[in-house]
A and B are shown apart, each in its own frame.
Chain A
Amino acid sequence: MQIEATCETARSAEAPQVLALPPDAILEDIANEIAGVERIDIHFPSFKDGRGFSLAARLRERGFEGELRAVGNLIPDQARLLKRAGFDRVAPDQSGQAERWNAALTAFSGDYQPAEDKTEPAFARRARKTRAALADALNADYADRPAREVLAAALDRFKGRIAVLSSFGAESAAGLAMIAEIAPDTPVFFLDTERHFAQTLDYRDALVKRLGLTNVKILRADRDEAAAEDADGQLWRRDSDACCALRKVRPLARALAGYDALITGRKRYHGGVRETLEPFEFDGVRIKVNPLAGWSREDVQAVFEKLDLPAHPMVEQGYVSIGCWPCTAPASPANVRDGRWRGQDKTECGIHQPLAAGGQGGPLL
Chain B
Amino acid sequence: MKKTPERIESLAAEYVLGSLKGKARRRFERWMMESGRVRQEVWYWEEKLGQLSERVPGREPPESVWRGIERRLWPQERAQANPRSTRLWPAWSMIATAAALVLAAMLIQQPTLEPDLRLSGAIVQADVSDPLWLVSESSRDSRLRLRSVAATSAQAGKDYELWIVPDNGNPLSLGVIPVGDVYQVKLTDEARETLSQSRTLAISLEPRGGSPTGAPTGPILHVTKLYEL
Q: Do A and B truly interact?
A: no
